[in-house]
Amino acid sequence: MIPARRPLLLIVLLLFSFWTRGQDTLITKSGNKTGLNLGALPSVLFNSDLGFQYGALANLYQYGDGSLYPDYRWSLYGELARTTKGGGINQLNFDSKYLMPFGIRVTADLSYLTQQALDFYGFNGYQSRYNVFWETEDEEDYISRMFYRIERRLLRMEAAFQKPLGGSPWNVLAGYTFLNLEIGEVDIDALNKGKAADDVLPDTVSLYKLYMNWGLLPEVDQTGGRVSMFKAGVVYDTRDNEPNPMNGIWAEAVVATAPSFLMDRSGWTKLALIYRQYFSLKRNVFSLACRFGYQGTILGSAPWYMQSYMINSMTRSTTVDGLGGGRSLRGILRNRVVGDAVGYANLEFRWKVVRTYWLKQNFYIALSSFLDTGKVLKSIGVDRSKVPEEVTTQFFDTGDDNWHSSIGGGLHIAMNENFVFAVDYGRALDKRDGLSGVYIGLNWLF
């Protein structure tokens, strides 16, 4: 399903048109930025079920005397948005490599996200069947548009520190993350308020409810929980420009552990390995970006709601769910590829079409094309003994998972290198992964 984000997409197209009309006055020079610089955008969209979303996002950069440009002394990102049906985004994110002694980089995130219809398709990729007709109106087998949805309220507090080792590109990482997740069935009554009679959502069973009835979600984890997670690792970074590198390597190995004495359940440990490399094909114009990743449980048993939580060295996006969706496999249903261990890859060709210095700001417009793919490498153990035999084949496949792949393209408009407005469109190559998706937000994928 394609998110209904036409109002904001229209704004993007108007901006693109405005900049295009101004190309006869382009100035080829560029200027180093100094002092404070603010980038801001409205957060506007409409979804027939979730209602009208309104709000804004902004990123404040401190460039100091400009000697570090395009790097910044610190960055503060904030987003505040609400939907008329009760959902919301509340986020603050801070990043700096220069405020702490010994060259220590600090990143911190405080977020509270109320997601009224978060995707839930079961576990282990293609081993969980996806039936699009169950969520498609006017189909004979239609159940509900919310059949593959859950409600989640997520509080996230996170801090991470990276210290360089001498003058080398190696950094050591340490961090802490606290999560409080409240999960339940979609509030159908809330979503039905104000709907016409022929558009009302039926109050019926969901996949999440069936999984609880069949004992596929342990009782202690069914409705979420609290997670205290410590991170440690190493990071290797030779990028020439963090927001959109033309050359370099960015690789990391991160171990995240959640000890049992800080939770109401047994503990667990996950390992995340991510390798990114950037190749310049034409200086400041064409580049090829590659990302290869692995994430898996190496000790204990992680709760089901943490199997889709993607771990990395620093949180820069609002949501970190995957695999599937705008931050991992574009065009594939969000959280479609969930397992005890997953692997993924992204290949992206980037072309900076226009560069200009306008209104005392440095801008560029870029186009991209990409291939995303991912796969469950180790399945989550699922006891199907309580699943009625007559419906087993409707929900489960006994075969191994395969690669979930998508292709697509994007438009990026950047101000002063760091504030990058992004629109990506991805199309799944297998109908079992959905059809396509449009993703509007900030920053390149990696």
**Per-residue pLDDT tens for 298-325?**
999 999 999 999 999 988 778 889 999 9
Residue 222 has pLDDT above 90, yes or no: yes
Residue 413 has pLDDT above 80, yes or no: yes
CA 326, chain centre distance (Å): 5
Which phi and psi (to 5°) does residue 33 adopt? -85, 145
pTM of the complete model beyond 0.85: yes
Tell me the C-alpha distance between 189 and 171, whole Å: 50
Query: Is the pLDDT higher at 37 or at 25?
Result: 37
Query: Is the pLDDT higher at 341 or at 33?
Result: 341
pLDDT at 49: 66
Query: Please, where are the H alpha helices in 31-171?
Result: none
pLDDT at 15: 45
CA 418, chain centre distance (Å): 18
pLDDT at 398: 87
Residue 48 has pLDDT above 50, yes or no: yes
Tell me the C-alpha distance between 21 and 318, whole Å: 33
- Strand stretches in 283-360, DSSP E: 286-300, 341-358
Query: Is the pLDDT higher at 337 or at 8?
Result: 337
In the chain, the N- to C-terminal Cα span, in Å, equals: 24
Over residues 371-394, mean pLDDT: 96
HSE at residue 204, side-chain half, CA atoms within 13 A, is 13
Over residues 142-152, mean pLDDT: 97
CATH code reported for the domain at 6-442: 2.40.160.50
pLDDT at 194: 87
Give the torsion through C-alpha atoms of 439, 443, 329, 440, to 10 deg.
0
Which phi and psi (to 5°) does residue 127 adopt? -70, -20
HSE at residue 15, side-chain half, CA atoms within 13 A, is 19
pLDDT at 6: 41
Tell me the C-alpha distance between 252 and 386, whole Å: 41
Rounded alpha-carbon distances, angstroms, from residue 165 to 68, 168, 169, 236, 237: 20, 6, 7, 10, 12
Instruction: Calculate what percentage of the chain has a pLDDT beyond 90.
Output: 82
Give the helix/strand (H/E) hosting 162.
strand 149-164
